[in-house]
Structure formats: C-alpha cells, structure tokens
C-alpha cells in the first residue's frame, strides 16, 4: 500500500491491476483506517482515471454475494446523485417505464444522501421491500423484468470504506462509482452524473467494465438526469467507440420545463409523483420521464433512435405496462417476511 500511496501522491496514475490490489487490501482486516483514508484522499487529489475506477469497481462487484451470471440484455439506469437539485425520483420512475417496454432492469440504488428521497426511500414508501435475496432478485428479473438491489445489502464487504468515508466527510471516488458497482452482469447502462467534466472518464470506465452499449449524460442545469431545461451533454458507448453529442427538448419534440418544475419532496410526495406519472398524468414530471425512459430504451438498443425510444416509453405508460411492473413488485414484496435478508 505504501508504494501505491507514494505513486498517487506524486501524481502517478495506478494501473487497473494495481487499483484492484489496493482495493482488495483495504477490504482485509490488516488495513488501517488511515491507510484507507490516505488512498481515497490521494486519489481525489490526483483525479481518478478510468483504469483506477474500473479497478475499484471490479473488486467491489467480485466481493458482492449478489454477483450474477449474465442475464439476457439486462440494464440499469441510475444517477450518481449529488446534484442537490431536489428533483423527484426520475430514474426510479423511468425504470418501471423501461421495464414496461420489455427490457430487463436491475435497478441498483440507495437511500437519500443529498436529496430528500433516494430510490430506496421512494420504493419503500410504495411498499416495496429492500430486502430481496439474490434468488428473489433473479426470479424478479426473469418474471417481472425489474428488481431492486439495495446497495447496503448487496455490498456488505464495503464496511471498511463506509466507516472511513463517514469520518472523512469529503467527496471521494465513491461519490461517483455507485451506479457502476451493480453486481448484476449488465449488457447496457444509462448513467447520469451532475459534473460534465466526468463524462469522458465514466464512459471509458463503462467500456473497461465490458458494457456493450452505454450512455453517460449530464442534464441541463448540471444535474444527474436528462432534463427539459435546455442542453443536455451525452456520450454514447457503442461497439467500443465513444461519441459525444448534445440534446435539447426541441430535438425530440418535447416542451421546455425548468428545473424548478420537476422538484420533488419527501419519500411520500415523490411516491405520489411516481404514481401520477405511471397513471399517465401529463406535465413536467411525465415529459421528463418520457425523455429519460426514452434514452434508456435507446441505450439498451431496443429503439434505434431516441425519438423512437420516447414513443416506446409513452406506450409503456399509456398501455398500463409500466404501472403493472410496479404493482407486481409491490405484490411480491408482501410475501417477504419483515427483516429477512
């Protein structure tokens, strides 16, 4: 570890293999809090590379007891959080719409950190269990096309990092890698991040992690979802190639809505918004979900264009398919004894 710390302090990047080695060491009983803290702060000060991020993620996923064999054409749509926009749960609502379009969604998420309601908070408010076992997740992915993986349950080995991060109280690489650590073998991924400067690094990380297709974006107004407030910045990963482009509401036939018009509230309020969208109530929330779900469907490859993806998202809602995915998840959750993990 000393060798790796010296390299980082000198501004030298670690290879993916070196980062894997350092991360494995941090998860042992031998590693001290000061060593883990030094690694995280040195990485942050230097600036993490795609190789280093992929190295950390490789180990985190390998240590998860929820690691699965490949599931045909599965995807995730998740933002890094941290934008402090206090929007409603856009990606969680969109996940049901994507699943309603026939795509398998392994939704990875956590409780709120910088907002009033994280994905876990709003799903819990809707009556969805956070305690699905690996076998239950597998069953739901095959039968319902959507399941929720609560990050603390699927990443038990990360307690040494969690403890140190709380003590540090500063942003580290863990503030952006959460969506990458989904233990399900994903084919494609839609990833939002509020910092535009991180788009190339995260896109390259997804390439190194083996995604067939991926779309990384920063929404207008520097948020971790696509918005209808102006120009969104995106990078598409397809067949190993990265392509940058921008997207405005008028490009896909949707109206303009400011960030303030998609603000949410606590978990109960955001659950109400989610249900209103899946029940087809038109407005800023609905159109924002159309955009993000449409991007997800396009990212997966089921739609050849973003506009076609938006049309499929609209059909998923209007046909009741998206709402059905939610209702199935609630019904399934009622069968699970409280507290069972």
Q: Extract the annotated binding site for anthranilate.
A: 79, 110, 165
A 10 A CB-CB count for 256 gives 15
The answer to whether 164 and 33 are in contact (CB under 8 A) is yes
Contact partners, residue 276, CB within 8 Å, separation at least 6: 285, 286
Binding residues for Mg(2+): 91, 224-225
Cα(313)–Cα(283) distance, integer angstroms? 15
Paired tokens of 83: 């934008």
Task: Tell me the residue length of the chain.
Answer: 341
Q: Cβ atoms within 10 A of the Cβ of 311, count?
A: 18
Nearest to 91 by CA among 217, 209, 197: 217
Cα–Cα distance list, 1 to 40, 60, 292 (Å) = 12, 18, 41
**CA torsion angle 322 323 329 331 (round to 10):** -150
Binding-site annotation, residues: 79, 82-83, 87, 89-92, 107-115, 119, 165, 224-225
Can you name the residues that pair with 191 across neighbouring β-strands?
A: 78, 216
Residue list for the binding site for 5-phospho-alpha-D-ribose 1-diphosphate:
79, 82-83, 87, 89-92, 107-115, 119
Residue 147's DSSP bridge partners are 106
State how far the alpha carbon of 217 is from the alpha carbons of 78, 130, 166, 183, 280, in Å. Answer: 11, 27, 28, 22, 26
| Alpha-carbon span 317 to 321, nearest angstrom | 6
Q: What are phi and psi of 107, to 5 degrees?
A: -85, 110
Structure tokens at 288: 């924002």
Strands 188-192 and 213-218: parallel
């Amino acid at each position: 570890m000393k060798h790796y710390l010296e390299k980082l302090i000198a501004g030298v990047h670690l290879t993916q293999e070196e980062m894997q080695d350092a991360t494995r060491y941090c998860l042992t009983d031998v590693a001290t809090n000061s060593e883990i803290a030094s690694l995280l702060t040195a990485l942050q000060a230097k600036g993490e590379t795609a190789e280093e991020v992929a190295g950390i993620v490789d180990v985190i996923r390998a240590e998860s007891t929820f690691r699965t064999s490949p599931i045909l054409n599965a995807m995730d749509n998740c933002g890094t959080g941290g934008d402090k926009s206090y929007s409603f749960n856009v990606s969680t609502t969109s996940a049901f719409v994507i699943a309603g379009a026939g795509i398998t969604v392994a939704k990875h998420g956590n409780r709120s950190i910088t907002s009033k309601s994280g994905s876990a908070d709003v799903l819990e408010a809707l009556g969805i269990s956070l305690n699905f076992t690996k076998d239950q997740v597998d069953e739901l992915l095959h039968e319902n096309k959507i399941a929720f993986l609560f990050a603390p349950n699927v990443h038990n080995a990360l307690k040494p990092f969690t403890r140190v991060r709380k003590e540090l109280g500063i942003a580290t690489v863990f503030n952006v890698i959460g969506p990458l650590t989904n233990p399900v073998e994903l084919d494609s991924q839609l990833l939002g991040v509020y910092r535009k400067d991180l788009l190339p690094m995260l896109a390259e990380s997804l390439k190194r992690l083996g995604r067939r297709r991926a779309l990384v974006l920063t929404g207008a107004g520097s948020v971790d979802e696509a918005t209808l407030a102006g120009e969104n910045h995106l990078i598409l990963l397809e067949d190993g190639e990265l392509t940058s482009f921008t997207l405005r509401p008028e490009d896909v036939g949707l109206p303009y809505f400011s960030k303030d018009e998609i603000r949410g509230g606590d978990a109960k309020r955001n659950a109400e918004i989610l249900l209103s969208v899946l029940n087809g109530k038109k407005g800023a929330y609905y159109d924002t979900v159309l955009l993000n779900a449409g991007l997800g469907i396009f990212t997966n490859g089921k739609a050849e264009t973003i506009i076609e993806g938006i049309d499929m998202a609209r059909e998923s809602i209007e046909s009741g398919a998206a709402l059905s995915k939610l209702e199935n998840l609630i019904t399934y959750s009622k069968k699970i004894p409280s507290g069972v993990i």
